Amino acid sequence: MDLKTLSAVELAEAIRTRKVSSVEVVQDALNRLKAVHEKCNAVVSTDTEEALAAAKEIDAAIASGAQVGPLAGVPLAHKDMFDRAGKIPSWGARIRREKPCNEDNPLLARLKAAGSIQIAALHMTEFAFGPTGHNYVIGHARNPWDLSRIPGGSSSGSAICVAAGVVPAALGSDTAGSLRLPAAACNVTSLKPTWSRVSRAGAMPLSPSLDCVGPIARDVRDLALIMSLIAGHDPRDGSSSRRPVPDYLGLIDQPVDGIRIGVDERLIGEAHPEVQQRLEGAMKILERAGAKRVSVRFQDWRALDHMGQILQLCEVASEHGPYLRKRGADYGPQVRARMEFGHFIPGSDYVTALRARGTILSRVLTETFGNCDMVILPTLADPLPTIDELDVGGGPQLMNAIGRVILYTRPANYLGLPALTLPYPRESYLPNGFQIVGRPFDEARMLAVGRAYQKEVPGEVVHGW
């Protein structure tokens, strides 16, 4: 049994039926974690002893015939931005909370209650404020498919460890593309949920108006299982939605025949020709699965991006202003430079971006989504860049370089819309991916589309680790 290729659903089944023990699975994951970290700088800290002890407990429970959760004995690892009782998350930064957390992040608690075992806290861009995987404080992360390339960010370690088969799934966050970009760069899948669908309590805030927490996995079924566990209202996050949570995994094989997927050719035309060609190939696969292509148009994509930037830059400036003034030298050059922008944006512009959000979302749902169910877009605009090409630090090219990387991702955060990233067929290319952007709370149908796509293009693991 090649453990690194199994999904979380498959691993849980193998452990539950005692084809393999949780201790064996966790030990195998820890061994691979070490190898991957040495090459990719994917890990901040490991939980070796706690993880193996938890695995023994799960094995004993299964042996005794006890009921166990749907992720019993499955190793997971998450972006190092979530509270864990007794620990101080690094946030990928030098500036951290002063005292250990009193309790676990509620999402980690739910995953733990489902039987999963956290084996590590993973690399992230400093304060989750960067889309490439560059981190000038804890070191740049590297792509497991090609060590000279960016792994994407800010949930870099999560995507790396899923791609390399260390764990089948991991949590990350997405303020402007931070789940989708690393997933695309590392050839795996991710789901940025509708804003408010998943609690952000106990997670490091970057820009609360935009922040979303979500899963990265190789198999869309694992995204569905994890979404079923983490979605839903949380009293610790007053903004979290009270809508009932669908059985995402139970709905994943629902028919996708006739689902209308919108194609905005003008917007897609801003991508590199190779990306346009690969996107067209992905669209043909979706059509073979039963989806119907329709033409759509986003009226003013650039304005959506600008409004998202205003919210993000102002909220970051407010949160980090006191630290920037007192401990500026503790920030890496890129994050420090980006944090300065928000201090120069008028407060009236920030309020306009907030006031306009409902009007603009309503218009997009009526005009762009008026005759389609979801929209297909590139995730990355260009073929996967090298780490050196985007090593711009805090220099004058910073905003243009980053703006190009997140050209297709930030507007979904401003609109609060869910977005599923899927990898293109890899063929002879470097990894890359596209996104399906959906209507609010339509994650179940989007995951079904992803499942239909993966029947032709199944998830892959990087071999050789």
Partner 1 sequence: MAENGTQSPTMPKSLEGHTIPQERLDVILPFVTALSETAVRIGDTLPLEADPADFIRVLESEGE
Q: What gap in Å lies between CA 262 and CA 361, rounded to an integer?
A: 17
* Contact region with partner 1 (CB under 8 A), list: 107-115, 185-193, 217-225, 360-368: 360-368
Does the protein bind partner 1 through residue 424 (CB under 8 A)? no
Listed as own residue / partner, the contacts of 135-141 with beta carbons closer than 8 Å and 24 or more positions apart are 135/92, 135/332, 136/332, 136/333, 136/334, 136/335, 136/393, 137/92, 137/93, 137/94, 137/331, 137/332, 138/41, 138/44, 138/90, 138/92, 138/93, 139/41, 140/41, 140/387, 140/391, 141/40, 141/41, 141/42
In this structure, are residues 193 and 443 in contact, taking their beta carbons and an 8 Å threshold? yes
Cα–Cα separations (whole angstroms), residue 212 to 37, 271, 366: 26, 25, 24
Nearest to 276 by CA among 268, 284, 287: 268
CB of 347 to partner 1, least distance (A): 11
* Contact region with partner 1 (CB under 8 A), list: 87-95, 163-171, 334-342, 422-430: 334-342
CB of 442 to partner 1, least distance (A): 8
CB-based contacts of 251, cutoff 8 Å, min separation 6: 224, 444, 447, 448
Out of 192, 218, 221, 357, the residue judged to bind partner 1 by CB under 8 A: 357
CB of 242 to partner 1, least distance (A): 9
Select 39 or 243, whichever has its Cβ closest to partner 1: 243
CB of 360 to partner 1, least distance (A): 8
Select 353 or 406, whichever has its Cβ closest to partner 1: 353
Select 8 or 191, whichever has its Cβ closest to partner 1: 191
Out of 274, 383, 394, 457, the residue judged to bind partner 1 by CB under 8 A: 394
The full DSSP string for 315-352 is HHHHHHHHHHHHHGGGS-HHHHHHHHHGGGS-HHHHHH
CB of 441 to partner 1, least distance (A): 6
Chain centroid to Cα 165, Å, comes to: 16
Out of 16, 37, 110, 439, the residue judged to bind partner 1 by CB under 8 A: 439
* Contact region with partner 1 (CB under 8 A), list: 8-16, 167-175, 436-444, 447-455: 436-444
Out of 353, 420, 444, 446, the residue judged to bind partner 1 by CB under 8 A: 353
**HSE-up of 295 (CA within 13 Å, CB side)?**
2
Q: What gap in Å lies between CA 1 and CA 14, rounded to an integer?
A: 10
Out of 46, 241, 413, 454, the residue judged to bind partner 1 by CB under 8 A: 241
Matching residue, tokens 């050789």? 464
Does the protein bind partner 1 through residue 175 (CB under 8 A)? no
Out of 173, 196, 379, 435, the residue judged to bind partner 1 by CB under 8 A: 196
The full DSSP string for 215-264 is EEESSHHHHHHHHHHHBS-BTTBTTS--SPPP-TTTTTTS--TT-EEEE-
Q: How many residues bind partner 1 (CB under 8 A)?
A: 50
- Could you tell me whether strands 189-192 and 212-217 are parallel, antiparallel, or unpaired per DSSP bridges? antiparallel
CB of 305 to partner 1, least distance (A): 9
CB of 81 to partner 1, least distance (A): 24
Out of 345, 383, 391, 429, the residue judged to bind partner 1 by CB under 8 A: 345
The residues in 244-303 that bind partner 1, with binding defined as CB under 8 A, are 302-303
Nearest to 170 by CA among 41, 82, 72: 82
Q: Which residues are catalytic?
A: 79, 154, 178
Site string for partner 1, 15-44 (x = CB under 8 A): ------------------------------
Q: What gap in Å lies between CA 105 and CA 358, rounded to an integer?
A: 30
Out of 194, 207, 379, 454, the residue judged to bind partner 1 by CB under 8 A: 194
Nearest to 410 by CA among 246, 181, 152, 237: 181
* Contact region with partner 1 (CB under 8 A), list: 120-128, 275-283, 313-321, 405-413: 313-321
Nearest to 76 by CA among 131, 113, 41: 113
Select 171 or 311, whichever has its Cβ closest to partner 1: 311
Binding site for partner 1 (CB under 8 A): 194-196, 239, 241, 243, 302-303, 306-307, 309-310, 313, 317, 321, 324-326, 328, 337, 340-341, 343-346, 348-349, 351-362, 365, 394, 396, 398-399, 416, 439-442
